[in-house]
Amino acid sequence: MKKIIFLLMFTALVYKAHAQEKQIQIETQSSALILKAGKNGLLYQTYLGAKLNGNSGYDALSKENTKSFVINDGNPLNNLRHLAYPTYGTDNLFESAIRVTHNDGNPSLELTYVSHRTEKIDDNTTETIIKLKDQVYPVEVTLHYKAFYNENIVEQWTEIVHHEKKPIMLYNYASSMLHFDADRYWLTQFHGDWAKEARMLETELTSGTKVIDSKLGVRTNMYQTPVFFLSLNAKAEENSGEIIAGTIAWSGNFKLAFELDNKNSLRISSGINPFASEYSLEPGKIFTTPSFIYTFSNKGKGQASRNLHKWAGKYGIKDGEKPRLTLLNNWETTFFNFDEKKLTDMFADTKTLGVDMFLLDDGWFGNKYPRSGDKSGLGDWQATKTKLPNGIGFLIQEAQKTGVKFGIWIEPEMVNPKSELYEKHPDWVLKLPNRPESYYRSQLVLDLSNPKVQDFVFKTVDDIMQTNSGVAFFKWDCNRMMTNAYSTYLKKQQSHLFIEYTKGLYKVLDRIKTKYPNLPMMLCAGGGGRTDYALLKYFTEFWASDNTDPYNRVFIQWGYSQFFPAFSICNHVTSWGNQSIKFKTDVAMMGKLGFDINVKELKANELKYCQDAVANYKRLSPVIWHGDMYRMVSPYDESRAVLMYVDDTKSKAVLFSYTLHPLYDPQYNLVRFQGLDPNKKYKVEEINLMSEAKKTLEESGESYTGDYLMNVGLRVSSSKVETSVVLEITQI
């Protein structure tokens, strides 16, 4: 009892020491996040929105907020609203950012402000670091906010450390918690499954908690892409309205929770999914959460996407400012059925098309158990002698002789039980003791929490690179999720598995990036099962979906375009769907173009069309990859999709219009262009035409002011089912 009275007195004294309020401003060019340490020592979020002119605005605002939620009226619940990093165990009745149990079994935490500082990283970037600690237990939490000024992006993460005698148990460990007070809230989520990734769905949030999460362990975005839009007061619009676009940069299980409370306040928490993942934290060890990345836009989704694209190019994606390789892939044409002759013939096809690289897909490895289908060979990363007698080195030489680069597919985190790897190292596999092995695509997941397995996965890439100089590209696949997962290596700490696996994967990728800094790699997970900004630090691009039917693809690419730039979204022209080669290619050109077709089966005019389209793409890819993207007509609103890219100097633009499944004779309106300079004059020319085809845009070749194009517009869409129009817009 005495001890408790002492603690209470001590806590009161400490709170007194905090009597001074402190305001912390985290600003970008047009947004601001304002935090305030109250007189009671607690840290609150007082504002998130458009940047205000001068500090007096924030002072007034924080007084206003103080009235509503930082009041010391003796009601503890009022003191806890809008806490920057709410804890569990004392008075908080809502979602907590952190929940711990101490050594003595006490399940509470209360964090008070200790200090803060803002460091300038470079002319565009600052990092604000805020230290908080519990006044009774030696637990410290540090909040980090990195603000990217020009791109209007904030990256937020948290560090947790303690100095108790033995480990404490962490049950929740959010990256961030943000608060909103609007009249109404609309959430757009991006969900789906294999072959239907990134479907956009907008719903109004109602009282209670909506959770978007993954429990798949690996390939975690198969059902949910870890991104969202939150629109305040009204439904999300493309060019107006207040929007938060957020994403969690974590490749394991993630959780985004949206809790609308009794006072109509919304709190959004983000982070690793704590589901089945309580974490025992050793004294002195720092637990670092992944980053939550967000942008605030008061010009709708379009501006939010442009902010993210710009940031991704500069900071978010490996080599974001470097060019990408166009390619011919063999997966859809050959599947596992190929030999040296077939492949070397395809090198010639690669050259004929005019793309940069041939990408050899699944099926090239395994000797004791050759990879002749998906049931064997995974894990044995040596070329199959019966299929490729002269090895990969020979293929590279032949590709180079033909004048194309050579890329290769791997799936190094996985193993078929029918493999030499499995025979040698059955303990390297995730599988439950006392229960049968559980297969998905006839394979099992390797235990990347085990450093020996990490070495093996690193060596898979390293060996291919060392023995075959000239490998120019990797496609890194991942075709199953974790089920029946148990790590022999982690022994009694099974609840660390989801986290340690993901960290193990990052360790391997760090080693690869350090040793091969210029090696481009495509992130793939049985379609778009891995699409997050943590892995994209190591990968130059990602495979959006195995669904390459161009009609479906318009929706999938539209979804990903909200959060990821065009240069990172790989789109291939394949035999999926029976639409024209023009429609297929024009759809793929909206992102990073590739082909996965039998070039020999193309008719002469189709081949000519592809060659011209590749040449156009090469000329225009700097605009498509790094220009500003404007989405003008959404396929969710009309039976067509229209978007354009404009370069930074507003001197070059490309417009894509895709007609989907309209009713008979659709009366499409003129489409107003966006992003141009009203005072400049532009020539508008329709490109990507089949040799015999008439132009859809009657005015092709004519010139207009930017003003005209943006205020009046042109009739850019064809009225025919599954057809497309591509316009090149050039300043004259």
Residues of the shown chain interacting with ligand DGJ in the complex, contacts defined by CB under 6 A: 331, 361-362, 409, 477, 479, 524, 526-527, 543, 546
CB of 475 to ligand DGJ, least distance (A): 6
User: Which pair of structure tokens corresponds to residue 616?
Assistant: 């156009």
**Which C-beta is closer to ligand DGJ: that of 192 or that of 527?**
527
State which residue, 231 or 443, has the beta carbon closest to ligand DGJ: 443
Q: Compare residues 194 and 394 and give the one whose CB is closer to ligand DGJ.
A: 194
Supply the minimum distance, in Å, between the C-beta of residue 596 and ligand DGJ.
8
Residue 109's closest CA among 117, 101, 118? 101
In the complex, which residue's CB is closest to ligand DGJ?
Answer: 362
Category of 577 on φ-ψ map: left (φ > 0), alpha (ψ -120 to 50) or beta? left
Q: Beta strand pairing status for 224-232 and 266-272?
A: unpaired
Q: How many CB atoms lie within 10 A of CB 675?
A: 19
Give least dist CB 26 to ligand DGJ, A.
39
For the chain, give the longest Cα–Cα distance. 93
Smallest gap from residue 524 Cβ to ligand DGJ (A): 5
User: Alpha carbon 619 to chain centroid distance?
Assistant: 27
Shorter beta-carbon distance to ligand DGJ: residue 158 or 416: 416
Minimal distance, residue 331 CB to ligand DGJ, in Å: 5
Measure the CA–CA gap between 368 and 390, rounded to whole angstroms: 17
Continuous H helices in 477-537: 497-515
CB 293 within 8 A of CB 246: yes
- Locate the DSSP E strands across 298-377: 327-329, 357-360
Contact 640, 657 (CB under 8 A): yes
Q: Residue 680 is which amino acid?
A: K
Other CB atoms within 10 Å distance of the CB of residue 708: 17
**For ligand DGJ, the closer CB: 524 or 641:** 524
The tokens for 138 are: 């030696």
Cβ proximity to ligand DGJ: between 414 and 509 the closer is 414
Pairwise CA distance, residues 33 & 199, whole Å: 30
* Smaller CB separation from ligand DGJ, 134 or 546: 546
How many residues does this entry show for the chain?
A: 732
The residue (of 92 and 531) whose beta carbon lies closer to ligand DGJ is: 531
- 258-261: long-range contacts (C-beta < 8 A, 24 or more apart)? 258/185, 258/187, 258/205, 258/209, 258/210, 258/211, 258/212, 258/230, 259/94, 259/95, 259/208, 259/209, 260/185, 260/205, 260/206, 260/207, 260/208, 260/209, 261/94, 261/207
Rounded distance between C-alpha atoms, residue 202 and residue 12, angstroms: 46
Place of tokens 């002195």: 284
Minimum CB distance to ligand DGJ, residue 656 (Å): 24
Q: Is the CB of 468 or the CB of 479 nearer to ligand DGJ?
A: 479
Closest CA to 116 of 144, 87, 154: 144
At its nearest, how many Å lie between ligand DGJ and the CB of residue 428?
21
Angle between helix 340-353 and helix 391-402 axes, rounded to 10 deg: 30
Q: What is the DSSP code (8-state) at residue 528?
A: B
Smaller CB separation from ligand DGJ, 381 or 682? 381
3-state secondary structure of 68: helix
Closest CA to 418 of 376, 372, 384, 383: 376
> For residues 246 and 417, which CB has a smaller minimum distance to ligand DGJ in the complex?
417
Position of tokens 């990903």? 560
Nearer Cβ to ligand DGJ, position 131 or 199? 199
Q: Min. distance of Cβ 528 from ligand DGJ in angstroms?
A: 8
Nearer to ligand DGJ by Cβ, of 409 and 563: the residue is 409
Closest separation between CB of residue 545 and ligand DGJ, Å? 8
CA dihedral 129, 135, 136, 140 (to 10 degrees): 0
Helix (H, G, I), strand (E, B) or coil at 209: strand
User: Minimal distance in Å, beta carbon 406 to ligand DGJ?
Assistant: 16
Q: Residue 649: what are its φ and ψ, rounded to 5°? A: -90, 0
Shortest Cβ distance from residue 52 to ligand DGJ (Å)?
A: 47
Interacting residues of 167 by C-beta distance below 8 A, sequence separation 6+: 280, 281, 282, 283
- Least distance to ligand DGJ, CB of residue 197, Å: 11
User: Based on CB atoms, which residue is closest to ligand DGJ, 143 or 505?
Assistant: 505
Spatial contact of 465 and 475, defined as CB atoms under 8 Å apart: no
CB of 384 to ligand DGJ, least distance (A): 15
- State the nearest-atom distance from the C-beta of 543 to ligand DGJ, in Å: 6
CA torsion through residues 668, 674, 679, 681, sign: negative
d(CA 90, CA 570): 49
Name which of 378 and 590 has its Cβ closer to ligand DGJ: 378
Quick one: 543 or 560, whose CB is closer to ligand DGJ? 543
Provide, rounded to whole angstroms, the least separation between the CB of residue 714 and ligand DGJ. Answer: 37
Q: Cα–Cα distance between 523 and 111 in angstroms, integer?
A: 39
Nearer to ligand DGJ, 195 or 689 (CB): 195
CB of 193 to ligand DGJ, least distance (A): 13
Q: How far is the CB of 561 from ligand DGJ (least distance, A)?
A: 20
Residues 6+ apart with CB under 8 A from 547: 195, 196, 197, 527, 553, 556, 576
Cβ nearer to ligand DGJ, comparing 36 with 592: 592
Minimum distance of ligand DGJ from residue 379's CB (angstroms): 14
| Closest to 634 measured CA to CA, from 290, 333, 239 | 239
